[in-house]
Every structure is written in structure tokens, then in C-alpha cells.
Chains A and B, each alone.
Chain A
Amino acid sequence: MAGVIARRARKQRAFRWAVLIVLGVFFLLPLVAMVEFSTRDSNTWSLLIDWPQLSATYPDLSDGIVASLLQAALTAVLMLLLLVPTAVWVRLRLPRLRRLVEFLCLLPLTIPAIVLVVGLAPVYAWVNYFLGGSSVTLVFAYTILVLPYAYRAIDAGLSAIDVKTLAEAARSMGSGWATVMGRVVLPNIRSAVLSAAFLTVALVLGEYTIASLLNRTNLQVAIAFLGKSSATMSVAVSLTALLLAFVLLLLLSLFGERRSSRRRKESTS
């Protein structure tokens, strides 16, 4: 029996490396190709680092980068303002509404962005009327787009702590609701809030559908536009954006891992 298991372990190891090498090549090849493609013109990368030069040469691109960063930051803020107080409040005072809130938050998963944009067009006619056609207004649509992912992260964070007891303890010592939120609940779900914000930033930086079809600009729209005139530059920017998203999401997954391993340790001790 031991011989059979050892032989199987050997076979599994060989199989594992074969699979990893073949698929590894498939996944790394486009990244290597992007590096090769973007270095064909030696000026590309030095231009990308030189911000004043870049915004002079490709004003659309620098506009897109600024717009995307602004959108990402504001979406994260709006998402947190909207979601955290509601999720906490529903848990404390309106448990019957929890299913409804969850359903609404997960609804965007079944509505593709291309469909949402069809319905958003008339809504955005009003947004244009009241707030103007700035690309920052995309934040409203993006908050809906990130709702499922952000909700899951925050809900998981809230499930891990006893919100009710914490809130009642704080209330019985005379603190108001603002203190309960800001100084009791929020510090306890800090990592969940952080992962929701990370996911939001990563998703917003990669968004193209809504921005392009509502005739607004962001990073992806600028890259797609640039691709028509300067392929090398657009590939270089794509690679940079990709690496940025990589770093963000890797940080997120490593962070999440550390959190869960710490929790495992706590529960075993």
C-alpha cells in the first residue's frame, strides 16, 4: 500500500509540473510579448516616466489617467459611505431587510455592464443636466458595478465580529450612533473595508464598457483610443496598468491570507 501511495505521489508530481509548465507558458507569453513589443521603440518607456512630456505628447492619455485615478478614489469613498452604515444599521436595527439588501447588492452580477449602460443612458441624461458631463460623474455607475464585490467583503467582515454586542456596549456607555460607527464598528472591520476598497480601485481602473459608451474618458478609453495611433505606447500603458492591478490584487490576496491565518491561529490557541 505504501508503495502504491509513493508511486502515485511521484506520478502526481510529474503531472503537476507538466500542467504548470504548459499553462505557465500560455499565461506568461502575452506578458513577455508586451514587454518585447513596448521596447521596440526605445523612447516609449522613458516617455511614460516623464509626466510633463507625456501629457504634452499624449494629452488624451494623461487626461484618462487622471480621470481614472479620481474615479477610483471617489468610487471607493462613495461605496464605503453608502455600504458600511447601511450594512451595520441593517444588522443592528432591521434584520428583516438583510435579505433585500443582499439581493440588491448582488443584483449587478446578473446584469452585464453592457446592459446596465443601456438603461443608464437616460439616467445620465439627467446627471448631465444637473451635474454636467464630466467623467467624474461615472462614479455613480461604478459604485453600482462594484456593489457585489464590496458587499461580500464588508458582509464577511461584519459576520466575523459581534456587531450587536459592540454597539450595545458603546450605546450603554452613552455614545451616539456616529461614535458607534466611527470608533467602535469601523476599527473592527478595518481589513474588510480595506479589501473592499482595493477591489473597487482595481475594478474601476479596468473599466471600459460604461465609460466608452457614455462618451466619457478614463484610462481604458484612452488606451483604446491610443491604440489606433500609437500601438507601442498603448501596449506600454496597458502593461503598466496591468502591473498596477497585479500589485493591488496581490497585496489584497496576501493581506486576506494573513488575516485568515491569524484567525486560524487564534481559534486553535
Chain B
Amino acid sequence: MATRPRLRGTALLGTLPFFAYVAIFLIIPTLVVVIGAFASNDGGATGENIKALGNEYILDAFGRSIALSAMSALVGAVLGAVLAYALATARPDGVLRRVVTAAAGVLAQFGGVTLAFAFLATIGLSGFVTVFLQDHGIDIYSGGVWLFELPGLTLVYTYFQIPLMVIVFLPALDGIRPQWREATESLGGTTWQYWTRVAGPLLGPAFLGSTLLLFANAFSAYATAAALVSQGNPIVPLQIRSALTSEVILGQANVGKAMALGMVIVVSVVMGLYTLLQKRTAKWLG
């Protein structure tokens, strides 16, 4: 007796725990953010919270968040693509490639407090490299301590962005067939022409898509910045933290929700574009 795929009450009952759980711990929190962004403190509907996003300090935080994410995504994408290309030219089942991809898998997950402390131990005020360079007459902080500001955050973020790029970009590079290069050459094309006319356009969407993924990754990151930056709230996640922890200030809590909604919108748009580009990539390099 074959069970027909009909939506029957008893069958639906089996999925009830899952849906109930997701509703409580995922859907309700999402709705709290979305509804809260449009709610006043006494529960009525209002556009004030959204309007508050136009405040200079919030706009600045969004600007800095986007600059940080874009910068670290760009650096991570370029260096990660170079590393991925180096791996793609190695033997596919060689030790080198397996070790580096495994390490990339680990390092891409590496973030948060431990990463912040790793960099404090390296280029913090009494860090390994800082002290070493000082002994040799070089002061990396002669122009001010930049580790706790955007340049420092960008550097720290590249530590997990480069490995992530390797993971997401390597499959696209593996999709490039050596025959395409041989075909270019037998038709008289140069290396430059091969990269700009053949491989470039093919890899373009994949590269752009991966960069967008890196952007979303950096934009949503919180823990690393929270552990590193103790003064001021330069980026949006830290602004949300201060809105959350200082709930005593009337109206702040819902402004925090409006900022959270803003973050979700930015991430959703970026991830939507990523999915589109991913589909385009799959056409040729799937």
C-alpha cells in the first residue's frame, strides 16, 4: 500500500514539534523586531523609530558598518581568490590542497572573542609583533592606536574573510576547464586575452557573488568587534548593543529594533543578489 503524499491531519501532527519550536524561537523573535520597529512605547503604531534611523549617529554607524564590511570583503575576496587560484593549480588530491582547504574550513568559523584576543596578543599594545618591532625602532602606533578602530577591525576581519573566500570560490575555479585555455591558445590568444576574455567573464559572477557573501558575513559579525572595541559604538551591531543594554532610556529599545530591521534588510538584499549570481555561475561552472 503506497502512502499518497496527501496532507493529512495525523501526518501533519508529526511535524508539530518542529514548527512549534521554530515559531517560538525564530518566528516570534523576528516578528518582535519587525513589529517593534514600527511600535511606539505605549504599543501604538508609529514611524518615529524608522525616522530615528535618520539621526546622524545612526547613519554614521551604518556608513561605517558598510565601509568596514565592503573593505574587509574586498581585501578578503582578492587575497582569498589568489589563494584559491594557487590551490586550484595544485594537484587536486594532493596533501597541500587538502590541508589548506581543511584549515580554511576551520579558520572561516574562527571569530569572536578568541580572534580578538589573538590579535591583541599579536599587535595589541604589548603584543608580540608590536614589542618586537619596537625593539627594532619601529612604532606601528606612532599615528595613534588604530587596532580598536575601523582599520584594525578590517585587518582582524580579513582573518576569517580570506578562508571563507577560499571555501566558496574554489569550486568555481575548479569548474574552469584546462581545455578552454588550450582552445584560446590554439586560436592565437595570449595569456592576457585568456584572462580578460575567457576566464574573467566566466569567473566574474562567481567572484562578485562570493564577495557579496563575505560582505554579509562581515556585516552581521558582532562578537569580534564587541570584544575589541570598548569605547564608543562605531558600527551598527555595537549601536544595537547599547540600545539593548540601556533600555532604561525611553524609546531606545524600539530604535534598536529599527536598526535591527535595517540590518536584516541589508543582509537580505545582499544574500538575494548572491543567490541570483550563484544561479548565473552554475550555468557555466556548475
B223 touches A82 (CB 8 A): no
Q: Which of A140, A220, A224 has the most CB of B within 10 A?
A: A224
A139 vs chain B, min Cβ distance (A): 10
B223 touches A30 (CB 8 A): no
A254, CB-defined interface residue at 8 Å:
yes
Mask: chain A, 134-155; 1 = CB below 8 Å from B; 0 = not: 0000001101100100000000
Given the known interface contacts A110-B264, A112-B267, the answer about A96 and B29 at a Cβ–Cβ threshold of 8 Å is no
B226 touches A208 (CB 8 A): yes
A30 touches B122 (CB 8 A): yes
| Interface footprint category on B | 35 or more
Given the known interface contacts A33-B129, A86-B17, A208-B227, the answer about A238 and B220 at a Cβ–Cβ threshold of 8 Å is no
A119 touches B29 (CB 8 A): yes
B241, CB-defined interface residue at 8 Å:
yes
B1-38 CB contacts (< 8 Å) to partner A: 3, 5, 7, 11-12, 14-15, 17-19, 21-22, 24-26, 28-33, 36
Query: Complex: how many Å from CA A37 to CA B127?
Result: 7
A123 touches B24 (CB 8 A): yes
A223, CB-defined interface residue at 8 Å:
yes
B7 touches A119 (CB 8 A): no
A118 touches B244 (CB 8 A): yes
B127 touches A118 (CB 8 A): no
9-residue interface stretch from B56-64, B78-86, B200-208: B78-86
Q: Does more than half of chain B's interface fall in helix, strand or loop, or is it mixed? A: helix
A106 vs chain B, min Cβ distance (A): 10
9-residue interface stretch from A14-22, A42-50, A51-59, A186-194: A14-22
B223 touches A93 (CB 8 A): no
A157, CB-defined interface residue at 8 Å:
no
Given the known interface contacts A121-B244, A123-B29, the answer about A246 and B106 at a Cβ–Cβ threshold of 8 Å is yes
B98, CB-defined interface residue at 8 Å:
yes
Q: Which of A90, A94, A113 contacts B220 (CB 8 A)?
A: A113
Given the known interface contacts A118-B260, A224-B227, the answer about A206 and B109 at a Cβ–Cβ threshold of 8 Å is yes
A63, CB-defined interface residue at 8 Å:
no
A245 vs chain B, min Cβ distance (A): 7
Q: Chain A contacts of B26 at CB under 8 A?
A: 104, 107-108, 111, 116, 144, 147
By beta carbon, the residue of chain A nearest B122 is A33
Query: Complex: how many Å from CA A34 to CA B127?
Result: 9
A154 vs chain B, min Cβ distance (A): 12
Q: Chain B contacts of A36 at CB under 8 A?
A: 121, 128
B72-131 CB contacts (< 8 Å) to partner A: 79, 82-83, 86-87, 89-90, 96, 98, 100-103, 105-107, 109-114, 117-122, 127-129
A249 touches B106 (CB 8 A): yes
A225-256 CB contacts (< 8 Å) to partner B: 227, 231, 234-235, 238-239, 241-242, 245-246, 249-250, 253-254
B228-255 CB contacts (< 8 Å) to partner A: 237, 240-241, 244-245
B58 vs chain A, min Cβ distance (A): 15
B238 vs chain A, min Cβ distance (A): 9
A250 vs chain B, min Cβ distance (A): 6
B102 touches A114 (CB 8 A): no
Query: Complex: how many Å from CA A207 to CA B224?
Result: 11
B129 touches A29 (CB 8 A): yes
B129 touches A104 (CB 8 A): no
A235 touches B120 (CB 8 A): yes
A112 touches B220 (CB 8 A): yes
A20 touches B223 (CB 8 A): no
B159 touches A27 (CB 8 A): yes
Query: Complex: how many Å from CA A212 to CA B226?
Result: 10
B263 touches A220 (CB 8 A): no
Q: Which of A31, A123, A254 has the most CB of B within 10 A?
A: A123
A160, CB-defined interface residue at 8 Å:
no
Q: Which of A16, A38, A144, A206 contacts B114 (CB 8 A)?
A: A206
B135 vs chain A, min Cβ distance (A): 13
B32 vs chain A, min Cβ distance (A): 4
B122 touches A29 (CB 8 A): yes
- A residues apposed to B, CB below 8 Å: 1, 4, 12-13, 15-16, 19-20, 23, 26-27, 29-34, 36-38, 82-83, 85-86, 89-90, 92-97, 101, 104, 107-123, 140-141, 143-144, 147, 202-203, 206-209, 212-213, 220, 223-224, 227, 231, 234-235, 238-239, 241-242, 245-246, 249-250, 253-254, 257
Assuming A82-B18, A119-B28, A206-B114, what are 20 further A-B pairs, CB within 8 angstroms?
A: A1-B185, A16-B87, A20-B96, A27-B107, A30-B121, A85-B17, A86-B14, A86-B17, A92-B3, A93-B11, A93-B14, A94-B15, A96-B5, A107-B30, A112-B219, A114-B240, A119-B31, A119-B257, A209-B223, A220-B113
Closest 5 CB pairs of A and B: A119-B29, A112-B220, A33-B128, A37-B121, A33-B122
